């Protein structure tokens, strides 16, 4: 199999879920005592969060590229970034570290189109919802109409992620707030909802929503297994 280079700790809560899904799926497919070949660097997320809040994305790109190079040198065949937001640096990693990144928005877009949907809600950090690095893939490559919550709703969504979920806190009150936002947008024609933050599935699942839910953590982790089991070119 190909070696997966994981960049995690963004936060560790979701990285642990990635590791579990990838290895359980690998064992399911290969049987016996099989597990994935993984090389991982895990960030201290407090340092990453501080740079995000300060808007120091170029510094974050330099750091991400550096660790991608290290993982490649150690034998990784491709990179899995265990967070939606940090895919903002995916182009820099591919061009400067010369290694493929399995892009979370790409595999998510494929999953949405496979179900025949065209209009979806995108929930995530403020950086995902307000930036274009994610939506341009969903819209440009997959023709999706991406619905973004209002400014007030974005504040709520972002606040729950950074104030609760990355700390492992899951609250019924926050779940209800998310459901209210999702239901409002369903009323405006949304056919599905993308959980565009790898921590949101800790709070919201299919049972909580009346339209199809796209859990980007599951989708991305399973796509990593697919990629790892592809034949090497040489």
pLDDT in tens, 154-175: 999 999 999 999 999 999 999 9
CA distances from 23 to 11, 34, 108, 123, 165 (A): 19, 8, 20, 27, 23
Q: Region 83-98: what's the mean pLDDT?
A: 97
Share of the chain above pLDDT 70, in %: 99
| 76 alpha-carbon distance from chain centroid | 19
pLDDT of residue 62: 98
pLDDT in tens, 130-156: 999 999 999 999 999 999 999 999 999
Closest of 116, 126, 104, 128 to residue 192, by C-alpha: 116
Question: What 3-state DSSP class applies to 99?
Answer: coil
Residue range(s) of every CATH 3.40.50.1860 domain in the chain = 4-103+219-228, 105-215
Contacts of 206 (CB under 8 A, 6+ apart): 212, 213
Does the pTM surpass 0.75? The reply is yes
Residue 158 to residue 168: CA distance in whole angstroms? 15
Q: Is the pLDDT of residue 179 over 80?
A: yes
pLDDT of residue 231: 73
CA distances from 133 to 23, 52, 103, 136, 191 (A): 29, 15, 11, 6, 22
Question: What 3-state DSSP class applies to 125?
Answer: coil
pLDDT of residue 109: 98
Q: 4-103+219-228 domain in CATH 3.40.50.1860?
A: yes
Q: Is residue 212 classed exposed, middle or buried when 0-12, 13-18 and 19+ CB atoms within 10 A define those classes?
A: middle
Q: CA angle, 83 as apex, 78 and 85 as ends, to 5°?
A: 115
Q: Is residue 134 classed exposed, middle or buried when 0-12, 13-18 and 19+ CB atoms within 10 A define those classes?
A: buried
Beta-bridge partners for 81: 7
pLDDT in tens, 203-222: 999 999 999 999 999 999 99
DSSP per-residue letters across 2-71? PPEEEEE-TTHHHHHHHHHHHHHHHHHHH-TT----EEEEE--HHHHHHHHHTT-HHHHHHHHHHHHHHH
Rg of the chain over CA atoms, in angstroms? 17
**105-215 adopts what CATH topology?**
Rossmann fold (3.40.50)
Q: Region 224-232: what's the mean pLDDT?
A: 90
pLDDT of residue 170: 97
pLDDT of residue 234: 46
């Amino acid at each position: 199999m190909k070696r997966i280079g994981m960049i995690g700790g963004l936060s560790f809560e979701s990285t642990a879920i990635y590791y579990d899904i990838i290895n359980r799926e690998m064992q399911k497919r290969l049987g016996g005592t099989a597990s994935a070949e993984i090389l991982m660097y895990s960030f201290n997320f407090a340092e990453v969060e501080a740079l995000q809040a300060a808007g120091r994305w170029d510094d974050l790109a330099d750091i991400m590229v550096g660790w991608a190079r290290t993982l490649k040198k150690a034998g990784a065949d491709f990179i899995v970034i265990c967070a939606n937001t940090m895919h903002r640096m995916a182009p820099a990693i591919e061009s400067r570290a010369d290694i493929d990144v399995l892009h979370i928005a790409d595999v998510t877009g494929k999953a949405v189109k496979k179900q025949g949907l065209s209009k979806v809600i995108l929930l995530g950090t403020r950086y995902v919802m307000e930036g274009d690095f994610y939506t341009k893939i969903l819209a440009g490559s997959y023709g999706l109409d991406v619905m973004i919550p209002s400014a007030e709703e974005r504040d709520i969504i972002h606040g729950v992620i950074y104030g609760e979920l990355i700390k492992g806190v899951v609250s019924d009150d926050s779940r209800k707030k998310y459901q209210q936002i999702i239901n409002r947008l369903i009323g405006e024609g949304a056919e599905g909802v993308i959980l565009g933050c790898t921590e949101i599935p800790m709070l919201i699942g299919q049972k909580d929503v009346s339209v199809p839910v796209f859990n980007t953590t599951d989708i991305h982790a399973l796509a990593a297994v697919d990629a790892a089991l592809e034949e090497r070119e040489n």
